[in-house]
Chain A
Amino acid sequence: MPETPGSSLGVSAAGATASPAIHTVALSKRFGETVAVKSLSMTVQRGEVFGFLGPNGAGKTTVVKLLLGLARPSGGEALVLGAPLGDRETRRQIGYLPELFRFQALLTATEVLRLHCRLLALPKRTWVEEGRQALKTVGLLDRSHDRVGTFSKGMQQRLGLGVALLGDPALVVLDEPTSALDPVGRHDVREIIRGLRAKGATVFLNTHLLGEAEHTCDRVAVIDKGTTVATGTLDQLLGHHSRVRLKVGGLGERWWSGLGRFGRCQQDEEWVSVEGIDPSQIADLVDQVVGLGGRVEAVIPEHQTLEARFLELLGEQ
């Protein structure tokens, strides 16, 4: 999906719901001489799960803080759900799980959720059901009356996720949401994210765990040193970096030299690899090899992993 940066970020009541979930233009943040975010332009459409990837210290959390109004930008412009950064009413539609998730240790899980229902100004009659549903979703229903101080880190992160889900938010910002979770918890988070997408919510997933993004995101942006180095769908990011390996018998030396239109070919005895092939053309490639009289014994498509592509992108910087 193309980025649509522009100089104008006009907000209108009519356009508020049609606007992207997040739209930033040349957003930047300095801490003294240190540039944490440098001219960041990106658009997150409504209803998509957007992965915001980058190594530690890339500026991901700073961007999240800017988007939520916890910090002020040094330059650039941004709209969240069609409203300026930090807009109080818009915060009603945003659920947020911070990277540093801590809740009132002396309150029970139910009381924490009730506190947030109050702060969200949800109708009082909905508090019980909202709380119960959130606890059920994050798997804490049986600990609803236990004090948060007795919870493990993983349970507190689950509670934080439950807090972020209150009030049916249009945008859910998750900052490293599985950092304290075991594999079961991580699986549950993926299911929750998929559930949010099914309900039409936008999820902004800030993570350095690429597996999470690979499993759940519609689009991702890779950020390094405060600026985006790549944005797109996973296919767009990885599509030009797929490879297929063929084991072919019954043909002579350099039989493959005519297959250059599929990609960069290389032979290693009876194995031929075609780099950069469009995955949809693999069948055509096999047809052509058979047409040449070859006996195809194995076809092994190899997609570049997001991790490999991620390291490649960072290496290019």
Chain B
Amino acid sequence: MNATLTIAMLTITEAVRRRLLLAFVAITVVVVGLSAWGFDRLSHTHSITSGENHLAVPEALILFMFMFSFVVALSASAIASPAISAEIESGVLTTVVTRPVRRTEVLLGKWLGLAALLAGYAGVVCALEFGVVNSVSDFLPPDPLLAGVYLFIEGALLLTLSLFLSTRMPTIAAGVIGIAVFGAGWLAGVVGTLGNALNVSALRTVGQVGRFLLPTDGVWHAAIYYLQPASLISQRLAQGGNANPFEAEGAPSWAYLLWVACWFLIVLIAAVASFERREL
């Protein structure tokens, strides 16, 4: 456990010194600033009614959070893809794994450090964006904490997958595959939503299979659910159901959350097994 924490701290230290966090926070502050201006304009516009405004603000917030969910997911892939492969290629890992530590501890330490960075980033993003929207538009999502947690989990799933790929593939291949799989998962979710809207079972199945194989889109929809106010949900229900990829039908089921946990554990165990067996 000590070795795991040592590697986790090392991972965080290196990320901080690379100014990775600073760059992300700087970009985030700029985007949040722009969103503040946008929400301010939305709140002061006279071209929509106050009722429409109460629906437009959470919808706009979901769109902004969608962008941040992309940033979180892509960042997760970008920081996890080189975590093992680049250090094998450079030789940095050789002196670490020849110490009296298990490779499992090294991999879990990397995961822990990267996940802590991701959690920190997701936390900062949610705090800033929700704070800005609340102060400008007087709106706070019904469960901002759970929305933030699901945003982090979405990134953590892709982080785990990219770390697994990193144990076997060169950095670029792991990164490209991780991002491509994430994009495909999101697209499958959109196709599934279309299937629901058009009542085409084949398209609906694509969405369901996609959320099963890579649960990032399913988890993102869980985050959406906790961003939506009751008024938005009842309006959608009044319109006849889910026909928008930026809306969620309901809270994630326990069965689905259990599958997400299983998926995470399967990929993490696969990453550990792959790294343990890798010849350096």
Which residue numbers of A lie inside 8 Å of B, CB to CB? 65, 68-72, 88-89, 91-92, 94, 96, 98, 100-104, 106-107, 115-116, 118-121, 160, 163
Contact = CB atoms under 8 A, between A and B. Distances in A.
Interface of B: 2-3, 6, 10, 13-14, 17-18, 90-92, 94-102, 279-280
A121 B100 contact: yes
Nearest to A120: B99
Given A96-B98, A107-B14, 17 more contacts: A65-B279, A68-B98, A71-B280, A88-B102, A91-B98, A92-B99, A92-B100, A94-B98, A98-B91, A101-B91, A101-B95, A103-B95, A106-B17, A118-B6, A120-B100, A121-B2, A160-B95
5 contacts: A88-B100, A96-B95, A103-B92, A106-B17, A116-B99
A70 B98 contact: yes
Contacts of A102: 90-92
A115 B106 CA distance: 13
Contact of A118 (B2, B13, B17, B280): B2
A69 B98 contact: yes
Contacts of B90: 100, 102
Contacts of A121: 2, 100
Nearest to A66: B279
Nearest to B18: A106
Contacts of B2: 118, 121
A279 to B, nearest CB: 41
Nearest to B279: A71
A119 B280 contact: no
A119 B101 contact: yes
A243 B12 CA distance: 63
B95 A116 contact: yes
Nearest to A148: B92
Nearest to A100: B91
A88 B3 CA distance: 13
Nearest to A115: B10
A116 B100 CA distance: 10
B94 A119 contact: no
Contact of A119 (B14, B17, B91, B100): B100
Main secondary structure of the interface of B (DSSP, over half): helix
Contacts of B13: 106-107
Contacts of A89: 100
Contacts of B95: 96, 98, 101, 103, 116, 160, 163
Nearest to B14: A106
A70 B279 CA distance: 6
Nearest to B94: A98
A102 B87 CA distance: 9
Contacts of A163: 95
A48 to B, nearest CB: 21
Contacts of B18: 106
Contacts of A120: 99-100
B99 A70 contact: no
A160 B96 CA distance: 12
Contacts of A92: 99-100
Contacts of A116: 95, 99
Nearest to A119: B99
Q: Report, nearest first, the 5 A-B pairs whose CB atoms are least far apart.
A: A100-B91, A119-B99, A106-B17, A71-B279, A102-B91
B4 to A, nearest CB: 11
A160 B95 CA distance: 9
A101 B97 CA distance: 14
B279 A119 contact: no
Nearest to B106: A119
B116 to A, nearest CB: 17
B280 A65 contact: yes
Nearest to A93: B100
A55 B56 CA distance: 73
Nearest to A114: B6
A149 to B, nearest CB: 10
B101 to A, nearest CB: 6
Contacts of A115: 6, 10
Contacts of B91: 98, 100-102
Contacts of A71: 279-280
B26 to A, nearest CB: 19
Nearest to A149: B17
Contacts of A70: 94, 97-98, 279-280
B13 to A, nearest CB: 7
A68 to B, nearest CB: 5
Contacts of A96: 94-95, 98
A117 to B, nearest CB: 10
B139 to A, nearest CB: 41
A160 B17 CA distance: 22
A106 B100 CA distance: 23
Nearest to B87: A102
A65 B102 CA distance: 16
A254 B14 CA distance: 78
A106 B12 CA distance: 11
A70 B278 CA distance: 8
Nearest to A103: B92
Nearest to A99: B91
Contacts of A72: 279
A100 B98 CA distance: 14
Nearest to A94: B98
Contacts of A160: 95
